[in-house]
Structure 1
Amino acid sequence: MRIEDYWEDISLYLIEYINYKDQLIMVNDFLVVPEGFSEEQIKKEILSLFPDARSIDSIHEYSEGLCEK
């Protein structure tokens, strides 16, 4: 039994972006992505999955971890 059989590597990023619903709001969120995602892939994901996101101010890798398969 190997750890890779039950767990996958992930990265935890702190994302700061501008959100617009009724007014502009600066949002700070944590985002969990598979290990190896590039910043460009993360930007595309945010802009496609969060329809109110207007611009991304920063993306910081916060930590690494494991996620149960």
Structure 2
Amino acid sequence: MKIEDFWADIDIYHVSFEVKKEVDNLIGLRMVNKTIVLPSGMTEEEVISIVTKRFSEVKTVQAVDYWEEALLLKE
């Protein structure tokens, strides 16, 4: 029995990005900070691409900080 049989490698990132926010017909930007889990081995450019595509109204990605590697239990 191997560890790969039951666990998948993942990486944990902390990302900061600005999103467009509209309140009372005024448009502004709001900073969002999130911790996200992605498959292991992604480049910073791939992480930025995922953030801009998978969150709404992203204007700029301010930071991508690699936090830690981890294991995800396979089903």
For normalisation by structure 2, the TM-score amounts to: 0.86
Larger Rg: 2
Unaligned runs of 5+ in 2: 23-27
- Name the residue aligned to 2:19: 19
- Identity between Structure 1 and Structure 2 (%): 32
Deviation by residue 1:4-51 (Cα, 9 ceiling, x = unmatched)? 101011100000000112131111101101110111111111111112
- For residue 52 of structure 2, the aligned residue among 47, 56, 59 is 47
Superposition RMSD in Å:
0.9
Unaligned runs of 5+ in 1: none
For normalisation by structure 1, the TM-score amounts to: 0.92
- For residue 61 of structure 2, the aligned residue among 26, 44, 56 is 56
Point out 4+ residue stretches in structure 1 off by more than 3 angstroms: none
